[in-house]
Structure 1
Amino acid sequence: MKFTDGCWRDKAGVTFSHARETVPGSIGLKGDNTLRALCTTKHTKHRGDTLNRPTITLETYSPAKDVIATKATHHTAINRAHKQVIVHDAETVAADIKAEQNNASIQSGSLKSNISTEADNFKITYTGEQKELLTEALDVSWIMAKTDLYDGMKATQSFVDPTDEESTVKIRNHMSVLLSLAPGEYVYGLGERFGPFVKNGQSIDTWNEDGGTSSGIAYKNVPFYMTNKGYGVFFNHSEAVSFEVQSEKMSGVQASVQGESITWYVIYGPTPAAILEKYTALLGRPGLPPQWTFGLWLSTSFVTEYDEKTVTSFLDGMKDRDIPLSVFHFDCFWMKPYRWCDFEFDADYFPDPKAFLDNLHKRGLKVCVWINSWIAQESGLFQEADENGYLVKRLDGTSFQSDDWQAGKGVVDFTNPDACKWFQSKLEHLLDLGVDTFKTDFGERIVWKDVKYFDGSDPVQMHNQYTHLYNKCVWDLLERKRGKGDACLFARSATSGGQQYPVHWGGDSDTSWFSMAETLRAGLSLAVSGFGFWSHDIAGFKTGSGNDFTNPVGAIYKRWVQFGLLSSHSRLHGSSSYRVPWIVDEEACDVLEKYVKLKMRLMPYIWKESIHANKTGTPLMRPMFMEFPEDRTVWTLDQQYMLGPSLLIAPIFNDTGDVEYYVPAGTWVGLLDGKKRVGPCWVKENHDFLSLPILVRENHVVVLGSDETKPDYDYTKDFTVVVGSKDATGSATIVDAAGNETVKISVANGAVQVENAPAAWKAQIVGGDERSASGNKFDL
């Protein structure tokens, strides 16, 4: 949110109270490991200057090694309503705290924060391994704003204007902090964002909304960013945080929240992967989806007509064309209209759902069904939920209802433990029927005006947090019923910590080249925000306008199929048309078959890197700068990515097959074409629909599995060790479903060594033939 008009004027109705200096003698310890300082908002020349001025209290501590948290507070009593995000820390860890004449400092690991105690010279600086990170004066302010600067958000307090005795103007109070940026410093993250990947120059409010992918609002907002200077910053707030990233003050990132306090964590890396490892240690590691989820998902789509016969025809069509399928998804209309959600199959279309789901399982498929957390008035469950107090209430105590989406719908209140158990019991019936997982939709379009929650949470602060509780409720049920390691969602919305409940998909995209590119940008931004796994609607959700049943353009479908099957999770889904490939053309069938089978063979590699994501927070799909932070050319790249550490993927965003992409230092070899690209350099190429750049990194070993039909199989059986050249060096492991390293592989001096080698395996130099091997050693 912008509070100023340029460098010299504040906006009309805005009053700043900047931290100006620390009060002499106020610096000291609060408890054992917290540094406390009281800051004035006016330079104190004499005792009279201590009157009629607000103060700002700073409390600084370390919740983990290399992490320093600071809470800045104006009024402490009002601050009690502040709802922080759940952070996995023990409040403090031992830190080196010093308070000296002109400086106070706290050091945790390699990260150090200094607070200046000089008169009229307030600033906070951060250093990592004695190198400057945040070097300029860091402004902390309490702000009163009379004007309606933040449309849609409510005022947290009402005040009488102190400069006008007759004024009764409502004022919105904010706390703001300005974190400096150095020249050439780039900002990444802040959740799923469809605009430019580098966030410099953007105004971003972390407020979950349903706006589609061609907008500046997002389904998954996370108040966390990192920069290419080796650190990240997390704002521990569940409510909206408003960011001005060099869009108001060109010197840095301004973050503000409504209320009386603001809390931020500075996390030192120094590498992007190290930043995420420390961040997800606090907010939760990415959950690990089971192996079966990595196969192809096929959806009925949204407003299409379908029944058992239609679904069966899709499955037979995929089988006849030898296209492996792992999951079938039933979208909204598996339930009767006006009854979402009653969690009952529409008997007119599915007269015996259990028998039908059993038949799907006999085909080797898992089953997903669409749900949301709204109970329509016509649903048989509405009265039960209403009478038992399971719905979000209006201020007068009646259940909130609206006609948005479903007539007379109420909203399940997940702050009520009994409501959670009730909601889970309805889903448990579906699990017993044969459903394997759920698409948890619409967690972002949640009412916040004039309502109240069971636990008394502020509805504004609960707005983003709602989806977290919703997804957690469903995830906990799946873990309880299916066992740990077999839980998976398909969720649209999320906030801080949401990576614990994968998988998330990118929301409603258009069928266009622009939308395909913005989808990739969003996925990379989400990856930088701590999410290890991600998917999107292959070929786009919306085609044409309205319910015109337009099929996707063939070129977009085929190129998006390539991109989709080289993402962590892959789903064919649309709005008003089916996404089976033969509706496009027969070549689309060939493309889909090839890339599904390629992904299935890549599963030993994908699964190993998924285990790594679960343990460290490093995402499976990652932007180039995360893997090559020392190469400044990659700092702005957003049309290519790394799939794990070893494979570079460059999707094609046009119907001509032309692509231009960057190759970092080293000799890279195309997995599909066997051609070498020697970096660092830019490459221009042309590819037909069966090809695109998939490059194997120099001195990296990729293990290919032997089964092209499914993602969950024995990866140690007849695998292939793939290297880029005869003189390559490197190593790899094969990891089983439980995460155990079962086979270890090393390559050096033209020889492949395999520890715990199975009876038969193969070796291949990219572009050459697979050659059978036996024993523990094979000469390339």
Structure 2
Amino acid sequence: MNAFELREPDWNAIEPARLTAEPKLQGHVLVLPTQFGEVSVTISQFGLRLNAGTTHDETFKILTTTPSNLPLSLNKLDQGFAATAGEYRLEFYSDPFYFKLYKNDKLVQQSATDGHFVRQHRLPPLAKTDNGWILSLELNYDEAVYGLGEKWGKLDKRGQLIRSYNHDALGVNAEKSYKNTPYAWSPEGWNLFVHTPAPVTHGVGYALWSQRAYVCLVEDDALDVFLYQEQTPAQSINRYCELTGFAPVPPQWSFGVILSKAYYKDANELLSVAREVRAKNMPCDVITLDGRAWQDTDTRFAFEWDPTRYADPKPVLDELKAMDFKICVWEYPMISVNNPLFAKAAENGWLIKDKRTGKAYQYEWDLSPFGEVLTPLPESGILDFTHPDAYEYWLESHKPLFEFGVDMIKADFGEQLEDENMVSHSGDSGIRLHNVYSMLYNRCVYEAAEKYCKTGPFLFSRSAWTGSQRFPAQWGGDPQADWQGLAASIRGSLAWGMSGGPFFATDIGGFYKDTRDAELYVRWAQASVFSAHMRLHGIGPREPWSYTEQASDAVFAALKLRYQLIPYLQECAEQAQQTGLPIQRAMALAFPDDVLAHSFDQQFMCGEKLLVVPCVVPNGKVKFYLPQGEWVRFPDGQAFQGGKYYEETLELTQMAVFVRKGDTLMLGPEVQHTEQDMSQLTAWPK
């Protein structure tokens, strides 16, 4: 983080934007001359758009829709101006420039009213500094703000300092996260989206800056901001996805159980586990060859099977296929300097370059956080996805994998562009390209799967940016294997869902510092039954029988229920494709009018019908709130009155899941994998 974020800025020293001449209409564009250059204003179905500076960001295709600008009328007010188009009216003033945005004559948003003894605004309404553009907006005294990507803390970002910057976060314990987007919304109806690849810092009622304002720092020379209003949070997210893209429906098998660990060391261990899964009738669809499982760490990544362990991988994959497994393999967009591919890629200009030398940048890994988790990683080049030939090479290199029988890619990492001396084919620095690089990487691998995978495109990406929801799915990085790791992972999944990402999975049992806590493993699995995708993964075994017999029985029951819910989850996925609504819906999203529900940010709706209360503490205690109406527990049918707070203690096999009285669920049969007949559905309640 830069110094601007770590202290309170000297707001007195920041010069606010002012109009240096009369505003003028140029077609459907209102041009505002300022001392920082011209700021253009347009109004479309996506509300107000403020734009300054020039970029080539359209080549990144963050947006999937080109807004249709509406004709503007410009009128002079007593002390300012009014620009009107469609349902929106922008009132703005000259010195300093500040504004009020209305929709159908109702105030949507305005420049922050945080005042100063001797001037109207303590915070600059709009300014350009050495750190980037500043935009200051108003927050009502009790207003919540949601979105801003995968974050592990409270879903309501009010009071927080959030930076939209992807990190290899090494856990779920701090503000740093793997998936970010500079999109925020309020239950009051306004939405803010910054269209940029660059980092964005958000002081959301952050008290060191202003507890009553939303201060947004766009860390770039260019500014491109959308500000719009919708009646409900669901409509807000739908509008955002209209602008940045909807997620396609993943293949049916992806909703089954994905089994993984870091890592199955050779073919014998991999096949032994797969055979045991089938012998014990464990429901499972996918088995994963993680980072070191199929690649030689010293020479990865080059789409090569480690010849010392997989001299002939085809029989191994064939046996897995014969057992009806789908196969997932790991990758990252790095090429070891020890692999001949590095020299080839460097010669072709396919790698991120070092602007000091003009040669391929050689990334040096900091292994100090990893301890014994990882073997030493070699210096590596970083594939440049802005280079058309490099992009095409990486895409086409997946063809042999898919032809071999691979069904799914775990697209790991993608957060390593973090140096101003890095420069891409597009001319962007590593810092400017850092965030959108994840999305370009996601897109390339997903397009490869679209083109060559016989069982339908699907991947797991760890790092993501605006638009990555179009290339499902994402998983939540590396949580600590404890109860707080579980709770934070749930909040991360809900936050990503409130940011336009409908599909998410976590590492069931936690990734690191595993203590073989059987109760934690059970509760994590039970919660994940109701997530979009379900993966057992971590350092060490995650098969149910590797824990206690009681835990194994409880998890087997959860996995069986998961498969019965697949028809319902597919319906939810189809709805996500149409609306942008996530599978897991936080209470503020699902029940915007029931304010009491909003603070319960561990519980969530799975689709429209299932209210899920995960157990995130030892000994089975759950605290929850049921929104207004009548509810029944699933599956025993016990009646509960809504509008009330409850506390219960669950047995290990029990889950706190509720359905509105009168709703019907269609459940599928008990199967071991999705290749079996899943057509017979049963209504619940009968």
Give TM-score, length-normalised by structure 2: 0.91
Kept in 2, the 8 Å contact 1:28–1:36? The answer is: yes
Alignment of 1:196-211 (within 5 A): 196-211=154-169
Shift of 1:411: 0.7
- Answering whether residue 673 of structure 2 is matched by residue 710 of structure 1, we say yes
Partner of residue 48, structure 2: 68
Q: In structure 1, the residue corresponding to 2:448 is in which secondary structure?
A: helix
Q: CA RMSD in A?
A: 2.4
Alignment of 1:338-377 (within 5 A): 338-377=298-337
In structure 1, C-alpha distance between the alignment counterparts of 2:314 and 2:575, rounded to whole Å: 37
Partner of residue 383, structure 1: 343
Shift of 1:470: 0.9
Between stretches 213-222 and 640-649, larger displacement belongs to: 213-222
Alignment of 1:318-357 (within 5 A): 318-333=277-292, 334-357=294-317
1:587 to 550, 553, 559: 550
Partner of residue 521, structure 2: 557
- Given the superposition, is the C-alpha separation of residues 642 and 58 from structure 1 closer, same or farther in structure 2, using an over 3 Å criterion? same
Kept in 2, the 8 Å contact 1:342–1:380? The answer is: no
- Answering whether residue 119 of structure 2 is matched by residue 124 of structure 1, we say no
Kept in 2, the 8 Å contact 1:194–1:215? The answer is: yes
2:126 to 105, 130, 141: 141
In structure 2, C-alpha distance between the alignment counterparts of 1:105 and 1:91, rounded to whole Å: 21
Kept in 1, the 8 Å contact 2:247–2:472? The answer is: yes
Q: In structure 2, the residue corresponding to 1:508 is in which secondary structure?
A: coil
In structure 2, C-alpha distance between the alignment counterparts of 1:137 and 1:113, rounded to whole Å: 18
In structure 1, C-alpha distance between the alignment counterparts of 2:66 and 2:636, rounded to whole Å: 52
Q: In structure 2, the residue corresponding to 1:61 is in which secondary structure?
A: strand
Partner of residue 178, structure 2: 219
- Given the superposition, is the C-alpha separation of residues 116 and 421 from structure 1 closer, same or farther in structure 2, using an over 3 Å criterion? closer
In structure 1, C-alpha distance between the alignment counterparts of 2:332 and 2:98, rounded to whole Å: 47
Identity %: 29
Partner of residue 487, structure 2: 517
Q: In structure 1, the residue corresponding to 2:658 is in which secondary structure?
A: strand
Partner of residue 246, structure 1: 205
Shift of 1:232: 1.4
Q: In structure 1, the residue corresponding to 2:397 is in which secondary structure?
A: helix
* Deviation by residue 1:368-399 (Cα, 9 ceiling, x = unmatched): 00100001122242222222221111112211
Kept in 2, the 8 Å contact 1:61–1:92? The answer is: no
2:631 to 640, 655, 668: 668
Partner of residue 34, structure 1: 29
Kept in 2, the 8 Å contact 1:124–1:137? The answer is: no
* Deviation by residue 1:306-354 (Cα, 9 ceiling, x = unmatched): 2222122222322233211100010011112301112222233233211
* Deviation by residue 1:155-194 (Cα, 9 ceiling, x = unmatched): xxxxxxxxxxxxxxxxx34210001111211011111111
- Answering whether residue 233 of structure 2 is matched by residue 272 of structure 1, we say yes
Partner of residue 275, structure 2: 316
Shift of 1:660: 0.7
Alignment of 1:301-700 (within 5 A): 301-302=261-262, 304=263, 306-333=265-292, 334-395=294-355, 396-404=357-365, 406-482=377-453, 486-544=456-514, 551-575=515-539, 577-700=540-663
- Given the superposition, is the C-alpha separation of residues 602 and 389 from structure 1 closer, same or farther in structure 2, using an over 3 Å criterion? same
Q: In structure 2, the residue corresponding to 1:397 is in which secondary structure?
A: coil
Give TM-score, length-normalised by structure 1: 0.80
- Given the superposition, is the C-alpha separation of residues 4 and 415 from structure 1 closer, same or farther in structure 2, using an over 3 Å criterion? closer
Between stretches 626-635 and 447-456, larger displacement belongs to: 447-456
- Answering whether residue 257 of structure 2 is matched by residue 296 of structure 1, we say yes
In structure 2, C-alpha distance between the alignment counterparts of 1:270 and 1:579, rounded to whole Å: 44
Q: In structure 2, the residue corresponding to 1:665 is in which secondary structure?
A: coil
Shift of 1:208: 0.9
Kept in 2, the 8 Å contact 1:287–1:614? The answer is: yes
Q: In structure 2, the residue corresponding to 1:185 is in which secondary structure?
A: coil
Kept in 2, the 8 Å contact 1:330–1:369? The answer is: yes
Structure 2 counterpart of 1:310, one-letter code: E
Kept in 1, the 8 Å contact 2:613–2:624? The answer is: yes
5+ unaligned residues in a row in structure 2: which ranges? 114-123, 366-375
Structure 1 counterpart of 2:647, one-letter code: K
Shift of 1:132: 2.5
- Given the superposition, is the C-alpha separation of residues 703 and 97 from structure 1 closer, same or farther in structure 2, using an over 3 Å criterion? farther
Shift of 1:609: 1.1
Shift of 1:249: 1.5
Shift of 1:213: 1.1
In structure 2, C-alpha distance between the alignment counterparts of 1:136 and 1:251, rounded to whole Å: 11
Kept in 1, the 8 Å contact 2:324–2:675? The answer is: no
* Deviation by residue 1:511-535 (Cα, 9 ceiling, x = unmatched): 1111111111111111111001000
- Given the superposition, is the C-alpha separation of residues 82 and 481 from structure 1 closer, same or farther in structure 2, using an over 3 Å criterion? closer
Q: Across the two proteins, how many residue pairs are aligned to each other?
A: 658
Structure 1 counterpart of 2:641, one-letter code: V
Structure 2 counterpart of 1:613, one-letter code: A
In structure 2, C-alpha distance between the alignment counterparts of 1:106 and 1:232, rounded to whole Å: 20
Shift of 1:456: 1.7
Structure 2 counterpart of 1:93, one-letter code: N
In structure 2, C-alpha distance between the alignment counterparts of 1:238 and 1:372, rounded to whole Å: 20
Structure 1 counterpart of 2:530, one-letter code: L
In structure 2, C-alpha distance between the alignment counterparts of 1:599 and 1:222, rounded to whole Å: 30
- Given the superposition, is the C-alpha separation of residues 176 and 121 from structure 1 closer, same or farther in structure 2, using an over 3 Å criterion? closer
- Answering whether residue 215 of structure 2 is matched by residue 258 of structure 1, we say no
Partner of residue 43, structure 1: none
Q: In structure 1, the residue corresponding to 2:643 is in which secondary structure?
A: strand
- Answering whether residue 33 of structure 2 is matched by residue 57 of structure 1, we say no
Kept in 2, the 8 Å contact 1:193–1:218? The answer is: yes
Q: In structure 1, the residue corresponding to 2:441 is in which secondary structure?
A: helix
In structure 1, C-alpha distance between the alignment counterparts of 2:603 and 2:632, rounded to whole Å: 16
Higher relative contact order (CA 8 A, sep 6+): 2
Shift of 1:279: 0.5
Between stretches 498-507 and 415-424, larger displacement belongs to: 415-424
Shift of 1:708: 3.0
* Deviation by residue 1:13-65 (Cα, 9 ceiling, x = unmatched): x8311135x456x223222x2222235xxxxxxxxxxxxxx3553322134x2
Shift of 1:563: 1.0
Partner of residue 18, structure 1: 16
Q: In structure 2, the residue corresponding to 1:386 is in which secondary structure?
A: helix
- Given the superposition, is the C-alpha separation of residues 173 and 81 from structure 1 closer, same or farther in structure 2, using an over 3 Å criterion? farther
In structure 1, C-alpha distance between the alignment counterparts of 2:674 and 2:230, rounded to whole Å: 34
- Given the superposition, is the C-alpha separation of residues 260 and 451 from structure 1 closer, same or farther in structure 2, using an over 3 Å criterion? closer
Shift of 1:3: 5.8
- Given the superposition, is the C-alpha separation of residues 387 and 61 from structure 1 closer, same or farther in structure 2, using an over 3 Å criterion? same
In structure 2, C-alpha distance between the alignment counterparts of 1:291 and 1:267, rounded to whole Å: 35
Shift of 1:608: 0.8
In structure 1, C-alpha distance between the alignment counterparts of 2:232 and 2:156, rounded to whole Å: 17
Shift of 1:106: 4.4
5+ unaligned residues in a row in structure 1: which ranges? 40-53, 145-171, 545-550, 724-763, 765-780
* Deviation by residue 1:479-498 (Cα, 9 ceiling, x = unmatched): 11137x81111100001111
Kept in 2, the 8 Å contact 1:68–1:113? The answer is: no
In structure 2, C-alpha distance between the alignment counterparts of 1:5 and 1:360, rounded to whole Å: 52
Shift of 1:432: 1.6
